[in-house]
Structure 1
C-alpha cells in the first residue's frame, strides 16, 4: 500500500491484530521452537517455511502484509517464511503492489482469464511442487473454494491454509450446505430443496460429512421446465433467485420477478456458469445480509467472532460492510452465532469461514427472524471489518492453525477472551456478541457509479490515503500501476471505527473526502460519500435491494463543480496539451532536417466536447504564456494553465485553482479535475451501438429490424469477471446487425433536433445563461422533438418502401 508515496508504519495502527500492540510476548528464534512451544500433538506440528501465495490483487497484498507482520512480531524476522507469489504477465506489466514486496519469488503462469492461472489447480500444484513449498494460501476467489486444491495438495504433503477438502465440499457447495443446515436445525428460506435432510445428525471425530448424490439431485433443477414445477411444489413464488451453486461475485445469479422472464434468466445463469447445478430460492424482500465470522482449529474447536452487516450491495456484490450487525437484537445475533458454530462443528470445519444469513427485522405483527443463506469456506474480503472491533489478525490466525496451533494457544484469541497471553487454559464457553466498538468498511473499485457501476481498466497516477489510529486501508495498485481487463474491479479497501456507528460513519466520510485517487478510470469514492449522507443509511434503514433500487433510480454522485467550470477548465487543459503537442512536433521536424511552414505553429484550436448528448463547440486560443481564452457561442472566459513536471496541470479559473490531468483516447477526452473524472465523447453518432465494457461478448439479444428504445438490452458481455447487460444508451432506433447500429433515420432525426436546440439558445447570452437554456431544452423539449423527428423519418421510410413494393408488384403483373 502506498500512502503519501511511502510505505506506512503499520505498527502504529492497532486495527488488524493485537499482535501490533507492545506487549511482553516471548520472542522465538526459530519456527521449530515456536511450534514446539505451542503444539503438544507431535503429529499436528507443521512448520511452514515456504509459502505459495496462489492469488493476486488485494488478496495477495493482504496475505503478505499480515504474514510478515506476524513474523516480525513473533520472531523479529519477517523473512523467516519465504514467499513464492504466483503471477502472470498481465500482473507484472500492471505493476501490482504485491509484486513490489521485498524478498519474494515470482512463479509465472499464463495470462488471460483465471482459468489459465489463479483458478487452475494444475498450475497451482505445479508451482507448489516446483518451489518445494510447505503450504499454499489461496485467499478468496479463484481456486479458494475448489475442494480439488486442498485434496491434491494433501496428496503431496503440502498444507492448504484453509478448510480440508471434505468440509469445503460439504459446505462450499451452496446446495449441500443448505441441506446440512436443514439437517442440524438452522432455519432456511423456501427453496427447491426445502424439507430435504440427511438421516444422521451425528458425526464421529475425524469423520467426513457427505451429502448423498440423490439428495443433491432432488434439490436441483435441470432445466427451466423442472424449475417451474419446483416453484409450485415448494411454494416459492415470485420474486425468486435463480442460482448456480458454483457461481459467485454476481456471476450465475439472477433475480426473477415474473414467470415470463423465467426461461431466459434460467438459460443466462446456465450459460454463465456452465455445468454448474442450479437451484431456486425465494427472494426475501426487505431482508438484511448478516454474516458470522468463524475460526476453527485442527482439534474441532470452533468459535464465532461477532457479526457483520453486508446489506449494501449492487449486483449481489458487497460495497459497504459493518461490524457488528447492530440492526439485529443481541439475542438474535447470539442465536445466529450458535447456529453457525453448530454447523461448522458438524462437518469438522477448520480455519476461517463465514456463515451468511438473510435477516428480517421486526415489523408490525411479526418478530425478527433469520434464514440460512450459505457458508463460505474461505476468508472473506471483508474480514478486516471484524478485525477492527476484535483486534485480531485473521490471516495470521489461519497461518498458525495450519501449523497445528489450537485456538486457545493463539495469542490474539487469548486476548480476545481477556485471558493471560502465555497461559494454557482452554477458552471459556462464551459467545462473543457485543463489542464496545463499531467498524465500517468501504470497497474501492474501478467502476463508474454514473453508469450502473460499469467497470473500467486503466492507469493509476497517485493514491494518497490519510491513515490514522481509526482509519486504514490497503490497495493492490499504487503510483504507476494499472488495472488490466482480467483483474478484479476492487483495488482497495478502507476501514474506519469508532465507539458508535455514527462515529465510525463520520470518520469514514471524512477519510473518503480527504483521500486522493488519480487514475484514468472512474471510482465510486464520491458516490460513497453521497450514499453515507443518505437518510436511509444514516438511520440504518436499508436492505439488500436498497442500493440496486438507488442505481435504477439514476441517482448519480453529486458533482461539486458547475458545468461552466467543467467546460472552461477542460477546454483549457485540452488546449494546453494541443499547444505542447504542436510545438514538440515542430521541433522534432526541425531536428530531422524537415522544413515546415510557420503557420503549422497554430495556437488556436476548434473542437467539440460531447457530454450527455450535449455538444459544446469550443474555440480555444492561447493569448499569452500560460493563459488561454475559451470561446463558446460568442461568450469568452480567460483561464490560466501551468503544465507541471509530472504531466499534471494547475488551472486557475475565476481565482480558484484546480489540479487537473488529461488523457486522450481514440473515442474520448478524459479530464480529471481535482478528484473527479469527466469524460467527453469525440463521436456523437447516436446511430452506432457501442459496448462500454472491455471484455468478451457473450450473446446478441436482438434480431435485425427490431425496434430498440433507450434502456433496452441488445447484448450481454463479460468484463472483469462479471456479466453485464449491454443497453441502448443514447437514443431509440431500428437495429441492424452489420454493423451494429440503429438505422440512419435516427441520425437524421438527431441532426434535426440539434438544429432546434441552436434556435432555442440565445447567442448573446452569457456562458452560464446558455448552459441553463440548454439544460431547460433537454428537460422540457428534447424528448418530444426527438419522437416527432423519428416518426417523420419512419413515415418517409415507409412511403419509400411502399413505393418500391408497388413497383415490384406492377412488374410481376
Structure 2
C-alpha cells in the first residue's frame, strides 16, 4: 500500500478519499486554489499545497502544478477524484512519466472510452448493444441534419466528449435542429474544448441505469450491480438509488454481463461505470437497453453502491493501483437492502435550477440516522463556508440505506426534513417534493419525470401566519436559547408595570410585514401581525420554532422548506436602482455568451434576449414582459450576481 497520496481535487470527493486513506494508514496531500485556502479538505489532509488562483483553468486543471506538488511532498500516487483531470489521458501520461502512480485506469482505456462516438463503435465490435444513431467522424450540419431525419425525430444531440448533460439538446422537429446544434456545440466547446457531437435516437420514457464495474491489472473484472439515475433535471442527476426499481433477474443478468464485457474489451483497471439507456415504455426487458457511455472514474453517486454491497470503492481503487488483485470475486459480492442519494445543491429550483452562491451562515444535518436505517453525509463544506461561483455548487450528498426501497425512501424524506441551510438558496424543498412524488415513490421513474412534474415539484407554498410570527419572534432574539420564564433573567421582554412590545419589520418576496412581539410573564411570546393584514392577527408562541437569524435575515424551517425573511436595516438607504422595475438583472455570476437583441428593439414577453454561461452551462435570459430595450449587456462581458443585463424604456420615456 502507498505511504502517501496526493488528491487532485477539492470539496466532498477530496474529503471522501481522505477518510478512506486515513483508515488505511495512508498520508494525504491536498491541493487548493485561492478560493479554497480554508476549505474542509485542506483542513482534513496531512499536508496541503497551493496551486493557483480560483478559476479552475489556473488551478485544478493545471496538471503540471499538481504533479510538481506531488513530487515536492513525496507522494507516490495521485487520486483524481471525479471531474477536473480525472478522465484526461494526457494527464495520466504526465503522471506516469513523472514516476508517479495514477489511481485510476490507464491512459489507453480512458482514450478508448473518452469520445462517445468512438466508444460506441468499439462497443458494437465487442457485442454490447448501442443506441441507434450517427457516431461517425463527419460533422457538417447538412450531414448531421440528414442523419437526424434518417434516425427519426425526436433525436438527441450530444457532445462526443465529457458528460453531466453539457452539450446536450433534445430536438423534436427538423426546423429546430440548426439552433439546437449551435447551442450544443457552443456549450460542448466551453465545457470540454471539443465542439463535435453525435446524434442519437431519443428513447421514449427513457431510464438511465448504470453498472458499477471494477477491474485489476491481472485481467479480472467484476460488477457491483446497478444504480438507477433516472431522476434528472437538465440531464443532470438529482436522486440516485441502488438497486434499480423494477429490475428483473433476466435484465440484471444481461445488463451486468454486458457491463463486464465492456470493461474487459478495453482491459480496464480500477473503478468505472457503464451507463445504459433503457426503454421503459413496456417495463424493464432484457432486450431494451443500450450502451450510452463509460465513465472511466469514480462516480458522484458511488455511495449508494457502497451501501448495498458493503464495499469501500475508494479502498479498492487504492489497492488496485498499488498492484493488488480484486479483493473479491464476483460470487462474493452480494446485494443487500436499498439505498438513495440526494444531491443537495445551492440552486434555485423555482427559477430553472439556476446555480446560487452565498455564505452558509447556518448548516445543520441530522445528528443520527432515522430508526431502522443507516445514513452518510458526504460534504466538503461547513457552516460559515462560501459557495463560490468558480465551482460546482454542491453542498452535500445525503445518503441513506434501508432494508427495502420503501423504508429507505421514508428515511430519505426524514433526513431532508431535518436538514437546515441558511445563507444561500438551496434545493432541499425540491428534493423532498421529489421524494414524496407518487410516481417516484412507486418506482415509476424515467428521465422526463421531473420535467413533467416540475411546476408542482418546485412550487413553495406561501408562508403561513404562524411561520411569519415565528420569523418575527426570531428577529427579536427573544426566544433564543437561554431565555427563561423569569422576566428578570432577560431584558428582552421587561418594562416597568407593563409588557414591553417590540415592533418588527420583515420582508418576504415583495411583501412587507409589520409585527409586534411581546414577552409574557408565563414564558410565552405574543406576536401580533399588523401588516399586510386588514386586522391584527395575534399568535401565542411558547418556544421558538426551528429558526435561525443571520446577517440581515431570518430563516424559519418547516420540514424541508426554509422560509427566508429579510430584516430591513432602518438606517440603510433604499436601493433605488435595485427597486427599479425597468431592468433585468443577472440571476448568477457568469459570462454573456451571446446577445440576441439590440438597443431600440421592441421585444415581447418570453423572447430570448441573451445567453448567460455559468458553471459551464448555458442559461437563456428572456424578456420578463413586453417592452423596448434601452440598453443591453455586451457580448463577452463577465457579470456578477445582480448586474443589470437589460434596461427597458419605461412608460412615458422615449
Q: Which of the five TM-score ranges fits, normalised by the shorter chain?
A: 0.7 to 0.9
Matches within 5 A, 1:492-571: 492-514=396-418, 516-551=419-454, 553=455, 555-559=457-461, 561-562=463-464, 564-570=465-471
1:631 equivalent in structure 2: 530
| SS of alignment partner, residue 348 of structure 1 | coil
Cα 1:531–1:617 change in 2 (3 A) is: closer
Residues 1:86 and 2:5 aligned together: no
Tell me which of 57, 62, 65 is aligned to 1:115: 57
CA distance in 2, matches of 1:462, 1:169: 41
The answer as to whether partners of 1:135 and 1:160 remain within 8 angstroms in 2 is yes
CA distance in 2, matches of 1:308, 1:140: 17
CA distance in 2, matches of 1:456, 1:518: 13
Residues 1:736 and 2:639 aligned together: no
Residues 1:480 and 2:380 aligned together: no
CA radius of gyration, larger in = 1
1:209-241 C-alpha deviation (Å, 9 max, x unpaired) = xxxxxxxxxx14434333213224xx2222222
The answer as to whether partners of 1:192 and 1:220 remain within 8 angstroms in 2 is no
Cα 1:654–1:183 change in 2 (3 A) is: same
The answer as to whether partners of 2:128 and 2:291 remain within 8 angstroms in 1 is yes
CA distance in 1, matches of 2:311, 2:242: 14
**CA RMSD, aligned part only?**
3.0
CA distance in 1, matches of 2:188, 2:65: 21
Structure 2 gaps, min length 5? 479-500, 569-574, 633-643
| SS of alignment partner, residue 294 of structure 1 | strand
Residues 1:463 and 2:355 aligned together: no
Tell me which of 117, 125, 139 is aligned to 1:222: 139
Residues 1:262 and 2:177 aligned together: yes
Q: TM-score, normalised by structure 2?
A: 0.84
CA distance in 1, matches of 2:81, 2:295: 12
CA distance in 2, matches of 1:254, 1:113: 27
1:657-704 C-alpha deviation (Å, 9 max, x unpaired) = 33433456xxxx643112504366974433210121123322223233
| SS of alignment partner, residue 130 of structure 1 | helix
1:777 equivalent in structure 2: none
1:661 equivalent in structure 2: 548
Mean CA deviation greater in 713-722 or 456-465:
713-722
CA distance in 1, matches of 2:224, 2:183: 37
The answer as to whether partners of 2:49 and 2:69 remain within 8 angstroms in 1 is yes
| SS of alignment partner, residue 69 of structure 2 | helix
1:250 equivalent in structure 2: 165
Matches within 5 A, 1:90-169: 90-92=35-37, 95-101=38-44, 104-169=46-111
Cα 1:399–1:618 change in 2 (3 A) is: closer
CA distance in 1, matches of 2:215, 2:285: 35
Q: Which has the higher contact order (CA 8 A, sep 6+)?
A: 1
| SS of alignment partner, residue 332 of structure 1 | helix
Structure with more strand by fraction: 2
Offset of residue 556 of structure 1: 2.3
The answer as to whether partners of 1:97 and 1:477 remain within 8 angstroms in 2 is yes
Tell me which of 224, 229, 254 is aligned to 1:335: 254
Cα 1:620–1:134 change in 2 (3 A) is: same
CA distance in 2, matches of 1:673, 1:366: 47
The answer as to whether partners of 1:463 and 1:517 remain within 8 angstroms in 2 is yes
1:773-812 C-alpha deviation (Å, 9 max, x unpaired) = xxxxxxxxxxxxxxxxxxxx8xxx8xxx9xxxxxxxxxxx
Cα 1:475–1:740 change in 2 (3 A) is: closer
CA distance in 2, matches of 1:169, 1:367: 29
1:7-34 C-alpha deviation (Å, 9 max, x unpaired) = xxxxxxxxxxxxxxxxxxxxxxxxxxxx
The answer as to whether partners of 1:89 and 1:111 remain within 8 angstroms in 2 is yes
Structure 1 gaps, min length 5? 1-46, 72-77, 194-218, 419-431, 578-602, 640-651, 749-792, 802-813
| SS of alignment partner, residue 188 of structure 1 | coil
| SS of alignment partner, residue 350 of structure 2 | helix
Residues 1:378 and 2:276 aligned together: no
The answer as to whether partners of 2:349 and 2:430 remain within 8 angstroms in 1 is yes
Residues 1:238 and 2:153 aligned together: yes
The answer as to whether partners of 2:375 and 2:398 remain within 8 angstroms in 1 is yes
CA distance in 2, matches of 1:98, 1:54: 11
Matches within 5 A, 1:182-193: 182-193=124-135
The answer as to whether partners of 1:361 and 1:367 remain within 8 angstroms in 2 is no
| SS of alignment partner, residue 248 of structure 1 | coil
| SS of alignment partner, residue 204 of structure 2 | coil
Tell me which of 564, 587, 599 is aligned to 1:678: 564
Cα 1:155–1:366 change in 2 (3 A) is: closer
Cα 1:574–1:226 change in 2 (3 A) is: farther
